[in-house]
Structure formats: C-alpha cells, structure tokens
Structure 1
Amino acid sequence: MIRLLMTLLMLTSVGAFASNKEDGSHVQPDNYYPRVKIITSMGDIVVELDRRRAPITVNNFLRYVDKQAFNGTIFHRVMPGFVVQGGGYTTDFKEKSKFPAIFNESGNGLKNELHTIAMARQNDPHTANRQFFFNVNDNSSLDPGREWGYAVFGMIVEGSDVVDAMSEVETEYSIKLNAPNVPVEPITIEKVELLPPF
C-alpha cells in the first residue's frame, strides 16, 4: 500500500513539474545563448540573449516570444541618449496581458551598456513582466548599487543602427497613454521570431 502511494505521489509530482514547463525553459532548452529577430516597422534587430547569466529573465522573454505575444506591440517610450522601451502596448495603447512578475536578476554582472537589452519594471524591484528596453547609451545609473538595478539579459548583434534611429524619432505627450516621450509615428513590433541555434 505504501509503495502504491509513493508511486502515485511521484507520478503526481512529475505531472505537476511537466505542466510547469511553459515558463520559457522549454524553448531551445540546451541553448545558453538563443537569438531572436525583432522585426519592426523601422527595420530588423537581432538580439543574443544570455541564459547563462540571466536564466529567469531570458526564459520569461522567450515565453512571450513563443506565444507570439510581442507581435503587434509598439515601442511606446523613446528617450534620446537613454532608452527605447516597448513590448507592452498595442498600437492603440491598450495594455497587453502579462505573465506574473519575475525575480530581478540585475546582480548578474551584465551592465546597462550601449546596445544591451534589459527589463523594464516599476519602482518595486521585482515587478518586471513583459516590457523591455534597449540602452542607447552607457547607462550605469541603471546598474545595481545600493539599490536594485534593471536586469540586462542580452545584447544587439545586428541592427544597432535601427535602434539608434528609433531613439531619434519625434515624440510627444500622449493623452491616451498619459505619458511623455511617445513616438508621434508609432514604431511597431511586427513580429519576434526565434532564430535556429548555431
């Protein structure tokens, strides 16, 4: 009887573990440096993600890619010499659904340097979910110190000129979004696709 109970318990545990595999870790699980192509209305950007240094953040990003959840979103915050941020809103400024917030991996050794990709968040350090940004400068103020920083999880390997061009577009205050620094002409993420491993 005890053996039967132990077997049932093990099967239940394995089933629970298997059902939790939609966290992004199932996407190219043996690839520590997956690459994605972000196809935008201004051109293509290829980003190499660093799963070795930022496994939680990369897996989280990949599950949005896997669900095609970035497709049709916009870069809604553009600050020249600072950041280009997006991934959270549709072209009519409706907020997209999101997975639960993730642990902040800003202490992973990766810095908010020019042409890196990092997670956006609220003031609380562990509130990142789907919005990300590209650094268009060396932004050491976003690195951890006495306070939590912003988790870097990869870098641009192709299309840095596209992101630089994005950082220079005309912006305005958006009444719909109730925020400044919104591009006058929307910059759309048409599609994000996972590239095959090397």
Structure 2
Amino acid sequence: MLRSLLVSALSLSMLISCGSDESTPPPAPSYPVLENDDTAAIDVSRGNYACYSMVTSLGNITIAIDEKYAPKTSANFKNYAVLGFYDDLIFHRVIKGFMIQGGGFDAGLNRPETGQPIEIESRNGLKNYRGRIAMARTSAPNSATSQFFINTVYNDFLNQPSAADGYGYTVFGGVIDGMDVVDAIESVATGSVGGMSDVPVEPVVINSVREASCS
C-alpha cells in the first residue's frame, strides 16, 4: 500500500508536464559506469566530484556532484548554478518519507525559463539512497532540465533496474553535509496551491547555490 502511495506521489511530483511514453530502456552509455553502488556514503577522496554549497532559508546543504558517473547531468547542474539560476527559487514540493524537490519555481510559483532538456543517465549505477540527489523529469526520459530532488529515504523503485518505465531517475551525487537541513525541509507543513500539491505553506527558499571545496 505504501509503495502504491509513493508511486502516486511520484507521478504528481515528478511528472511536471505531459510527455511521451517511451518503454524502450535507454541505450548503454558510452562512458564507464559504476558496477555496484553498494553504500549511501559518498567518499569525495575518490576524486571526480564537484561540490556545491546550497544556502536555504532553513540552513546550508553541501552536495557532491559525481562528474565521473553522471558527466552530462553534472555539467547541466553546474551550468545552472554558475548562472545563478537557482538563486531565490524554492523547494516547491515536499513529501515526507519520500523526497524534497526544487529548482523549478520561485516563491510565487512562477517557473523561470530553462535550457534544453538533457539526456538521461539513469544507467550509471548510482542509486536513489537517502541523501542522494537526482533529476526530476516528465514521463519522457530525456526531459530533465533544472529540477532536482533529494531522497529522504531509500527509493529503490526509482532506480533504473527497478523502475516501472524501464528508465528510472538519474542520480548524480548526494549530500555530504546538512542532512539535518534536508530533514527539516521534509518536515515542514505543506498544502495545495494553484493546482499544485505538497507545496510548503511557508516557502523554503534556495538563497543560492555556489561551487565549494570538497575537502
């Protein structure tokens, strides 16, 4: 029953606009993939990570972005961050026991113009563990732009091998500091606004996202 509710929540929170239903699994990527992502912990000493400080109205979150196993997605996130795109946007959808989603709307629920959608990288072997960051998209696999979500529990059904649509959602890094802030965001009161559900009653603002040291 809980799984069914989460799938329904996913449909509401991730499928931002209508898209085509593609049932063919994505082709194997041309770059090396992780054979077994068996721990939620991220060891930045491995290298090939870029780190970002996300300052929010409830505290700071530090995220390590995996440039080795999610190169296109990482480059996309960096581009938005460098441009200051995320500044003053909000976490517009929060579902307790599931995830927090942001990067697509301001406090007035206006949607800023984004760049072109990117190619999905969900077959990179990275999993939707608690604390991992992944891309939100429509039902079309290659439709992610700026919106992301941070898992607050292990959402195995979002992983490419388990996903009902054969694609799943691209994980491209994770929180290395500030999970207490993620948990605080997950706990805020939510409601329905302008046809959107699970919107925080008091806006949770992303003040800025800036490159930071991984050390």
Question: Among the aligned pairs, what percent are the same residue?
Answer: 39
- In 1: Cα distance, 2:181 partner to 2:213 partner: 22
Equivalent in 174, 178, 181 of residue 159 of structure 1: 178
Aligned to 2:52: 36
Q: Is 1:83 equivalent to 2:99 in the alignment?
A: yes
TM-score by length of 2: 0.75
Aligned to 2:118: 102
- In 2: Cα distance, 1:76 partner to 1:197 partner: 27
Displacement of 1:196 in angstroms is 3.7
- In 2: Cα distance, 1:76 partner to 1:89 partner: 7
Higher gyration radius (CA): 1
Runs of 4+ in 1 over 4 A off after TM superposition: none
Aligned to 1:143: 159
- In 1: Cα distance, 2:155 partner to 2:214 partner: 30
- In 2: Cα distance, 1:115 partner to 1:196 partner: 19
SS in 2 for 1:86: strand
TM-score by length of 1: 0.82
- Provide the alpha-carbon RMSD of the alignment: 1.1
Displacement of 1:197 in angstroms is 5.6
Query: Which consecutive unaligned segments of at least 5 residues does structure 1 have?
Result: 1-30
Contact 2:64/2:214, CA 8 A, preserved across alignment:
no
Query: Which consecutive unaligned segments of at least 5 residues does structure 2 have?
Result: 1-46
Q: Is 1:186 equivalent to 2:190 in the alignment?
A: no
How many residues are paired up? 166
